[in-house]
Chain A
């Protein structure tokens, strides 16, 4: 296969949300055929320039975004494509070390204490990975002290807090208070989850609120541009 064909295969594989050979892809028919991860490995073995592969990632995600905007793709399709890019980035990254495109920033995310819900958190993780951020997932039901400790350790630029319950959303305020008590002021805190709102974010001193994962990507891009 020529390099051009190989890159086109990667592009199509991402658009079809075909992660790897075990994945059934967009319409349930692609299991057993090489997916994005295998194709990227193959391209690297064939000495394709990593930067060229990265360009294909961006182009494919732009097309996925267009299909989503047009209503042809739904959130699971977009999520599958973002997951392809996120996983393939893990393969590509060692070959790209130090280039500007890998330095968008680190995003730490957790579902707060008392809350076991992970839907929103996981979608945000996948979408942000697909958009090129380094994401660290602290999991669900995470106590405020553990979040503060993780912020101290990993020094992320952004912290995402998720809650689905009205009874647990108040825990977000505890996290923000503890961050301040620990003297941590250089991390941007973004909150999300069904019961949360922009007003609630302002009330508890968060830097932003996201209705959904797409807005999370937009907000982070805006925060990044502003800084």
Chain B
């Protein structure tokens, strides 16, 4: 846990946040969310929502407002070791960090090089034990899934957590909601648990498989992060304003569902507005300056609602630990923390766009967060821009990377891209984005609409095109821990 003392980035003004909120409500009222699940339809039609013949449900703004009012501002996370328990307060200037994942691969250091292989249950146990040792890791989100048949996955994962962690447990996924009671029995108390559910897939479609999961945890009052992970340019508009409007509508829909089912149930806002790699294969860009900027904007929006904020930072796009990965992580962790996320997920170990975790990267990330804590402790009046640059420089220096003039100017360019807006936030501009979103959801294969409409924005420089930060890493500062891995 670290205290956040720097000045928040404030990339969005209060007026811009109000405009986005209003546009998101308009999306829910007029474009609607595609729903097939009868329980979601029943829950919302009781609130006066309209269900159209085209399968879209139109949610009233009053239901959203009511949900925002009834969602609690504080959430308690207990832990098997009481000293690790904490209360998350939506108005507190404190950031806590956790692991994250569902990575497919594990990257190990062997004879001076990196070796990548499929991850499984033994790796889950190993990573949970590693999480116990890291002082800046406050909660544990499952980093990899157990490689066991689906019907055993929930129980095996719970057993691994129960035996290997004393910190608050975010199991992330629940494969079979009927196993929840058994999972609680295995870990010892439901108060140790939390989950992540993406109820609405982008663009604006309820994922049927998520409904029962969300109902099960909501009815028990277990904290749940309502997630949406849109990709500007493929599943959402490339425009950051357009993407934020859509993503916010998707998260608000999930929060409204939770609060309608069980008013006052603990819920965290988790918006992950990424960009799609339109220069390459359309994979999500998790940590390029354009994505870091958008993750910061989503955090600001969450703080605007005074909701507990599950931020996402530190997921590098790099395939293995290197200087660029450290820079990406330092910038994203600093911006998301200073923007006000109190519960930062995926902050440890993540590489290759969530596909890979590396135990060594956990150690490196612990050093980066320590550097962030020390930087903010030294000076309380740093701007986000200053803090981000200082943390990146200091973290790189701890791994033996001294930035030369070229790398220094690249770092400055990345931070400038995060800070400087390129878009107009006006009612007219948002109306055009609503038109694109409406057109995409009405078309079979909405991604084509988003991709085609991205051509203009691409040429206007909405995706960062700078270089990577180079430099050989010296891992001496984590050598002892590395050897013990």
A residues with CB within 8 A of B: 17, 23-24, 26-28, 74-77, 79-80, 83, 114, 116-123, 125-126, 137, 139, 141, 166-167, 194-195, 211-212
23 contacts between A and B (CB under 8 A): A17-B452, A24-B453, A26-B455, A27-B455, A27-B459, A28-B455, A75-B280, A75-B282, A76-B455, A80-B455, A83-B448, A117-B235, A118-B445, A118-B447, A119-B276, A119-B282, A119-B447, A123-B451, A137-B445, A139-B444, A141-B208, A167-B150, A194-B355
Check if B282 sits within 8 Å of A120, measured CB to CB.
yes
User: A35 to chain B: closest CB distance in Å?
Assistant: 12
Given A27-B459, A123-B282, also A118-B446 (CB < 8 A): yes
Q: How far is the CA of A121 from the CA of B445 in the complex (A)?
A: 9
Given A76-B233, A119-B234, A122-B445, also A166-B452 (CB < 8 A): no
Q: How far is the CA of A134 from the CA of B331 in the complex (A)?
A: 47
Q: Which residue of A lies closest to B233 (CB)?
A: A76
Residues of A within 8 A of B235 (CB): 117, 119
B residues with CB within 8 A of A: 102, 104, 145, 150, 173, 175, 201, 205, 207-209, 231, 233-235, 276, 278-283, 355, 444-448, 451-456, 458-459
Q: How far is the CA of A137 from the CA of B448 in the complex (A)?
A: 14
User: A131 to chain B: closest CB distance in Å?
Assistant: 16
User: A26 to chain B: closest CB distance in Å?
Assistant: 6
Check if A122 sits within 8 Å of B355, measured CB to CB.
no
Q: Which residue of A lies closest to B280 (CB)?
A: A75
Q: How far is the CA of A15 from the CA of B446 in the complex (A)?
A: 22
Q: Which residue of A lies closest to B200 (CB)?
A: A116
Is chain A's binding surface mostly helix, strand, loop or mixed? loop
User: B466 to chain A: closest CB distance in Å?
Assistant: 15
User: B201 to chain A: closest CB distance in Å?
Assistant: 5
Check if A117 sits within 8 Å of B455, measured CB to CB.
no
User: A69 to chain B: closest CB distance in Å?
Assistant: 13
Check if A80 sits within 8 Å of B201, measured CB to CB.
no
Q: How far is the CA of A195 from the CA of B105 in the complex (A)?
A: 10
Across the A-B interface, give the 9 residue pairs with the lowest CB-CB distance, nearest first: A28-B456, A122-B445, A212-B281, A119-B447, A76-B451, A119-B234, A116-B201, A122-B447, A76-B455
Residues of B within 8 A of A74 (CB): 278-279, 455, 458
Q: How far is the CA of A203 from the CA of B211 in the complex (A)?
A: 32
Given A166-B102, A195-B104, also A75-B355 (CB < 8 A): no
Check if A194 sits within 8 Å of B283, measured CB to CB.
yes
Residues of B within 8 A of A126 (CB): 448
Check if A76 sits within 8 Å of B452, measured CB to CB.
yes
Q: Which residue of A lies closest to B207 (CB)?
A: A116
Q: Looking at the complex, which one of B201, B233, B444, B452 makes contact with A83 (CB distance below 8 Å)?
A: B452
Residues of B within 8 A of A141 (CB): 208
Q: Which residue of A lies closest to B445 (CB)?
A: A122
Q: How far is the CA of A12 from the CA of B352 in the complex (A)?
A: 39
Scoring A116, A120, A121 by chain B CB atoms within 10 A of each residue's CB, the highest score goes to: A116
Check if B444 sits within 8 Å of A80, measured CB to CB.
no
Q: How far is the CA of A123 from the CA of B400 in the complex (A)?
A: 43
Q: How far is the CA of A27 from the CA of B455 in the complex (A)?
A: 7
Residues of B within 8 A of A121 (CB): 445
Task: Kindly list 4 other residue pairs between chains A and B, CB separation below 8 angstroms, not including A75-B281, A139-B444, A166-B145.
Answer: A74-B458, A77-B455, A79-B448, A166-B102
Residues of A within 8 A of B234 (CB): 119
Check if A123 sits within 8 Å of B447, measured CB to CB.
yes
Q: Which residue of A lies closest to B460 (CB)?
A: A28
Q: Looking at the complex, which one of A76, A117, A123 makes contact with B201 (CB distance below 8 Å)?
A: A117
Residues of B within 8 A of A28 (CB): 455-456
Q: How far is the CA of A124 from the CA of B406 in the complex (A)?
A: 39
Q: Which residue of B lies closest to A76 (CB)?
A: B451
Residues of A within 8 A of B444 (CB): 137, 139
Residues of B within 8 A of A17 (CB): 452, 455
Q: Looking at the complex, which one of A79, A116, A122, A211 makes contact with B205 (CB distance below 8 Å)?
A: A116
Residues of A within 8 A of B446 (CB): 118
Q: How far is the CA of A28 from the CA of B238 in the complex (A)?
A: 14
Q: How far is the CA of A76 from the CA of B235 in the complex (A)?
A: 13
Q: Which residue of A lies closest to B448 (CB)?
A: A122
Q: Which residue of B lies closest to A80 (CB)?
A: B452
Check if A76 sits within 8 Å of B458, measured CB to CB.
yes
